[in-house]
Amino acid sequence: MRDTLPNYFLFDTQPEAHLTPEVIAEACRQLKRNRAQYLRDMPTDQLITHLSRLAGNWQDDLFPFRKMALDTGPSATGFSRSTLAHGLDRFFARITEDNLHNLIAQELGDCRRLDAPLSTPEERSENRLAFARGPELIGHIASGQLPCPTMMSMIQGLLVGSAQFIKCAENAGWLPTLFAHSLYDAHPKLGACIELAHWPGGQTELESPLFDEADCITATGHDETLASIQTRINPHKRFIGYGHRVSFAYIHQDMLSRALSRDLAQRMAQDIASWNQLGCLSPHLVYVERGGAVRPEVFAEMIAEALDTLETTQPRGEISPEESGTIAYKRNFYEVRSAGTGDVRQWKSKEGTHWTVVFEEDPVFTTSCLNRFIHVKPIGDLEEMLRVAEMARGQVSTVGVAAPKNDTETIVKQLAHWGVTRVCPIGQMQDPPLGWRHDGRPPLGDLVTWTDWEQ
Amino acid sequence: MTFQSYNEADRSITRFIEQGDGDFETLALALHDLQARYVPAIAALCQNRGITPGSNHQIHQIPAIPTIAFRDMAITSIPEQDRIHHFESSGTTAAKPSHHWHHRKSLKLYETSLRLPFQKYVLNGKKWKGRILALTPLRTEAPNSSLAHMASHVLGSDTIHAAECCDNGWNINQHICDTACEQAILSDDPLLIFGPAFSFLHWLDATDTLHKLPQGSRIMETGGYKGRSRELPKNEFHKLLSERLSVPESHIVCEYGMCELGSQAYDREIGTRQERAFRFPHWAQPIIINPETGNPCAEGEIGLLRIIDLANVYSSVAIQTQDLARSVLDGFEVLGRDQAAEPRGCSLNLLQQT
């Protein structure tokens, strides 16, 4: 990136440039100065116009930053060109003026509440108004390999008028930085309110100035990592932690008709292929109810066929020896298992480790080694599924559901009581809407602080 | 070449182990053909792949059994009624451990396979005249630990055992360790210390004593932390051992073994200037497999470590490990997570994979 773009961000100068606590502290202070000058008082409408136009540009094949993402992205990120194109298109398609307005309205009751004190009808009856403001500086500690969650955080932070310092995840800072460049290019004043850098985990001396300067810290990571970060943050500051989560899918027997099941399997395969299954929202396994016209095992085979087809249009791309080694080892194991019993079947790409489907009669909850490796298991009904998935309870983000319309509400209620925070149709697991409540929490509501004005 | 019976295979392979009499590849292929007849999992795997006796011509074509399969099924030709013993994999997870089954004959072969390389790599082929401290329990206390069995077998009855069994494996009694060191220093007898890396750390992290062990003292460590202690890169771990116990790094040898294997590799013959790289004895060979193609890797390329182990007469001659490795010198190097790329994604470690 450094060869083709200016060094606007610390990330651009790395790894050569040596980061010190002083550099981080000064960057944070500069961000806050820029925010006061350019961002804090920018009208929400204007901000929304800038962001939605930028998102529109990102969907245009001639947009130089998109071209760079697709041309250089495969070597920089490991995702194939078509996987990147698909993922970026789905992501930016959601960043529209309407959606951004709706997001603020959903979160704050009215989309102008960041500009001036306003009241909702309920507040008006009490003769009061309220004004929401975002943090002065948000420090994001990102993790995982997907660029979208980081870019979404950046957009949300800008919407509430906050400067942001993003500590990128290892090997995952390239695309968010490219996005920041596109922002800088379109609106230098907005770009000047964002900083990105990366340093290996455990360098607490670099995190300390960020934690000191920021008034809100968001972090994603393992629960232990979050707990450790929280202990280093002044308790008066806001800390928003998102633990790693798993997701899975549930296919109701009534959806397994001969007419519907092939299309459903194709959508399931897309959920597995999107971002190579590497996000918290990607399915680890698919529970398929027995009793449908298409048996669970046959449905697994349909997913395999769909993954094989997808490999020609959205190839997975290269992965590290450790990742492919894990897949090869797992395949070896399931081959031994399937050879010895009729309860296990495995389908896999003819060459390489591109995709794998493992069908097992044993319904025990199993996590996948990802990179397009999916487990398919038959299940009697929803109750049985929740029983066997008990070990994952509290750590599940999304359940992709295919069920008859009339049954879905009951299913959603059961899943919600069990602890699931997002239910969506098959084919949309990796594409949460803009207003998605991450871990069941309000995306902007968590960031802002209210000032109530009683009249 | 074909083996008509396990007796014949056992005899031929014991002769090969003890006298080098025979050809490794021929024996491995013949042993596999025998196992494909008597080990159900291997038979099923061969049937699945359309492999018939004699159809393999190269050892990398032998269908390998992944170590994890030892948790799931009995990978053995030994009939249930004849199984008198088994070794279990260690670990702290709730997952089922691996089981490597044995009967009298297979144990005898295993012990032969243990003894010879230990004598070569750790004792330089000489009789040990010093003291011995094992950071493992007695074999009678931990009968299913292959490491405890090894310690009891190769170290002899004068060994001081500093480990006490607990629910989660074993704990180290630091007092016993320190006393053994002090006595060795007092009598000026070299001390041989044997144990897994995590046990050394349990001991050294719990005390701050420094021992100046007599010249000739040596350490055999088996690597592996299994989440039981902090983890150190090998060179730092050896530096720590060297600083705290005054055993020069040339006298620290690392062993690579697992309960699914009958043979062990060592990374240096103690006291020599040999470059560190794991080397198996002549009856076992590592093959680094390219996970994408399933074929052997090019020289120096990172892949999955597979071991063709003739000492596994009664289980599987080809074992697929989950370790990433690359060939170096005349041996191999096992890559830790820090050396290979971190796995991507944010999957949870909800459970030890089946």
Name the residue in chain A with its Cα closest to that of B46. Answer: A339
pLDDT tier, A369 (very low <50, low <70, confident <90, very high otherwise): very high
3-class DSSP state of B211:
coil
Alpha carbon A386 to chain centroid, angstroms = 24
Task: Tell me whether residues A367 and B347 touch, CB distance under 8 A.
Answer: yes
Closest Cα to residue B347, out of A263, A282, A51, A61? Answer: A282
For chain A, the structural domain boundaries read 10-244, 246-425
Q: What is the pLDDT of residue B90?
A: 74
Q: What is the pLDDT of residue A1?
A: 53
CB pairs under 8 A between A and B: 140
Length of chain A in residues, anyone?
Answer: 455
Min Cα–Cα distance to chain B from A276, Å: 9
Superfamily of domain A10-244: Aldehyde Dehydrogenase; Chain A, domain 1 (3.40.605.10)
Length of chain B in residues, anyone?
Answer: 354
Q: What is the pLDDT of residue B93?
A: 52
Task: Tell me whether residues A332 and B66 touch, CB distance under 8 A.
Answer: yes
Q: What is the pLDDT of residue B91?
A: 62
Name the residue in chain A with its Cα closest to that of B48. Answer: A339
Window 113-152 of B: residues touching A by CB (8 A cutoff) are none
Range with lowest mean pLDDT among A226-230, A332-336, B25-29, B86-90: B86-90
Supply the pTM of this predicted model: 0.91
Q: Mutate one of B39, B346, B353 to test the A interface: name it (highest A CB count within 10 A).
A: B346
Window 67-96 of B: residues touching A by CB (8 A cutoff) are 68-69, 72-73
The dihedral of CA A199, A95, A84, A397: what is its sign?
positive
pLDDT tens-digit profile of A61-83?
A: 999 999 999 999 999 999 999 99
Q: Which residues, at least 6 apart from A11, have a Cβ–Cβ distance to it below 8 Å? A: A168, A173, A177, A196, A197, A198
CA atoms within 13 A on the CB side of A410: 9
Q: What is the pLDDT of residue A342?
A: 82
Task: Tell me whether residues B44 and A328 touch, CB distance under 8 A.
Answer: no
CA atoms within 13 A on the CB side of B184: 29
Min Cα–Cα distance to chain A from B118, Å: 30
Task: Tell me whether residues A340 and B291 touch, CB distance under 8 A.
Answer: no
Contact B46, B61 (CB under 8 A): no
Task: State in words which class domain B108-281 has.
Answer: alpha beta
Q: What is the pLDDT of residue B22?
A: 92
Low-confidence ranges of chain B (pLDDT < 70): 91-95, 226-227, 336-354
Name the residue in chain B with its Cα closest to that of A323. Answer: B343
Task: Tell me whether residues A339 and B41 touch, CB distance under 8 A.
Answer: yes
Distance CA B81, CA B69 (A): 21
Name the residue in chain B with its Cα closest to that of A346. Answer: B48
Contact A428, A400 (CB under 8 A): yes
Q: Which residues, at least 6 apart from B307, have a Cβ–Cβ distance to it below 8 Å? A: B261, B263, B280, B284, B285, B286, B287, B318, B319, B321
Min Cα–Cα distance to chain A from B182, Å: 38
The continuous run of DSSP H or E covering A258 comes out as helix A258-273
Q: What is the pLDDT of residue B167?
A: 75
Higher pLDDT, A423 or B141: A423
Among B48, B337, B348, the residue with its CB nearest the CB of A244 is B348
Q: What is the pLDDT of residue A145?
A: 87
Distance CA A424, CA A94 (A): 16
Q: What is the pLDDT of residue B94?
A: 52
Residues of A in contact with B322 (CB under 8 A): 325-326, 329
Contact B217, B130 (CB under 8 A): yes
pLDDT at A171 over 90: no
Q: Which residue has the tokens 């606590």?
A: A21
Higher pLDDT, B55 or A27: A27
Q: Where are the beta strands (DSSP E) in A307-430?
A: 344-348, 356-360, 373-379, 396-402, 422-425
Residues of A in contact with B295 (CB under 8 A): none
The continuous run of DSSP H or E covering B200 comes out as helix B197-206
Higher pLDDT, A397 or B170: A397
**Six-digit token string for B274:** 């040999």
CATH classification for the domain delimited by A246-425, as one of 3.90.1640.10, 3.40.309.10, 1.10.3660.10, 3.40.640.10: 3.40.309.10
For chain B, the structural domain boundaries read 108-281
Q: What is the pLDDT of residue B54?
A: 81
As a whole number, mean pLDDT of residues A364-386 equals 96
Residues of A in contact with B349 (CB under 8 A): 367
Distance CA A337, CA A343 (A): 8
Determine how many CB atoms are found less than 10 A away from the CB of residue B60: 16
pLDDT tier, A255 (very low <50, low <70, confident <90, very high otherwise): very high
